[in-house]
Amino acid sequence: MTASRTLFLRQLIRNPRQVSAIAPSSPFLSRAMARQIPDPRARVVEFGPGTGALTRGILSGGVPPANLTLLELDPVFARALAAEFPGVRVLNAGADRAADHCDPGVGAVISGLPLLSMPDPVALAIVRAAFAVLAAGAPLIQFTYGRRPSIAQSIIEALDLRAEERQFVPLNLPPARVHCYFRRSDTPLPRRG
Ligand SMILES: C[S@@+](CC[C@H](N)C(=O)[O-])C[C@H]1O[C@@H](n2cnc3c(N)ncnc32)[C@H](O)[C@@H]1O
């Protein structure tokens, strides 16, 4: 087992609700998520990078390390990420605080967060934070293991989002679907609240 899988398993046992997945994302899912980034030269923010499975795909897709910010709640994962990805901005912070740390105009937010397992108000605060930093027309990219959209319908309606299913990835444990979310209107969202 690789060091990053061992670390993932250890943190899963310590904090199953926060990690909320049986394994890190596969390289196939990582590439499928990274392919949704419209412009690899733009700034990218990743929510919940864990052991960096999606981070590797984002960087291999051409995003320069200096343009990538990671928001990871678990301090053990955050330390390991900072060691593995020099030049990438790694913050030990909740994704709901994205607007405190990132300037607006972000080209894509990639989320590995288990949004459907979170209480609705928590998930709403996180999705709202993503759109508070995203440029107009830029996507929130999120995967899910089930057939349902990866963001609850109540949140889609509250923030006036449009969902697009982009890819089914069978070679992941479990198989996953990649969705992109866009705001329907250009009305700016408040950065917090
Ligand atoms: C399902 S794991 C995904 C890890 C990785 N992105 C992947 O796809 O393999 C979820 C990760 O999100 C982190 N996390 C959970 N809630 C968070 C929050 N509110 N803000 C930032 N990270 C969070 C967990 O600590 C964990 O690292």
Query: Does residue 40 or residue 22 have the better pLDDT?
Result: 40
Look at residue 193 and tell me whether its pLDDT is greater than 60.
Answer: no
C-beta 27 within 6 A of ligand 1: no
pLDDT the model gives residue 190 = 58
Alpha carbon 135 to its chain centroid, in Å, reads 16
In a domain, 113, yes or no: yes
Is residue 125 assigned to a domain?
A: yes
Which two three-digit tokens encode residue 188?
Answer: 């700016």
Residue 136 lies in a domain: yes
Most trustworthy range by pLDDT among 4-13, 48-57, 143-152: 48-57
Report which of residues 36 and 193 the model is more confident about.
36
Residue 66 belongs to domain spanning: 25-183
44 in any annotated domain = yes
CATH of the domain at 171: 3.40.50.150
Q: Is residue 162 part of a domain?
A: yes
Residue 1 banded pLDDT, cuts 50, 70, 90 = low
Instruction: Give pLDDT, residue 5.
Output: 83
Query: Which residue puts its alpha carbon closest to atom 9 of ligand 1?
Result: 24
The set of residues, in sequence order, having a beta carbon less than 8 Å from that of 10 and lying 6+ positions away, is none
Let me know: does 151 contact 161? Beta carbons within 8 Å.
yes
pLDDT digits (tens, 9 = 90+) for 153-165: 999 999 999 999 9
Report the mean per-residue pLDDT for the chain. Answer: 93
Q: Is the pLDDT of residue 21 over 90?
A: no
- Give me the number of domains the chain comprises: 1
Tokens, residue 93? 């912070």
Q: Does the residue 142 lie in any domain?
A: yes
Calculate how far, in angstroms, residue 93's C-alpha sits from the geometric centre of ligand 1: 11
pLDDT exceeds 60 at position 110:
yes
Q: What is the pTM of this model?
A: 0.95
- At 191 the pLDDT is 54
Residue 187's pLDDT band (cuts 50, 70, 90): confident
Q: With a cut of 80, say whether residue 118 has pLDDT above it.
A: yes
For the sheet with 176-183, list strands across it.
Answer: 89-91, 68-71, 44-47, 108-111, 140-144, 176-183, 161-169
Strand 68-71, strand 108-111: pairing: unpaired
71 lines ligand 1 (CB under 6 A): yes
Percent of the chain past pLDDT 90, that is, above it, reads: 80
Q: Is 74 among the domain residues? A: yes
Task: List phi, psi (to 5°) of 181.
Answer: -120, 140
C-alpha 128/C-alpha 8 separation (Å) is: 27
The CA angle 112-166-30, to the nearest 5 degrees, is 40
**What's the confidence (pLDDT) of residue 99?**
96
- What pLDDT, in 10s, does the model give residues 60-106? 999 999 999 999 999 999 999 999 999 999 999 999 999 999 999 99
Q: Whose CA is nearest to atom 16 of ligand 1?
A: 18
Distance from the CA of 41 to the center of ligand 1, in angstroms?
24
Is residue 140 a part of any domain in this protein?
Answer: yes
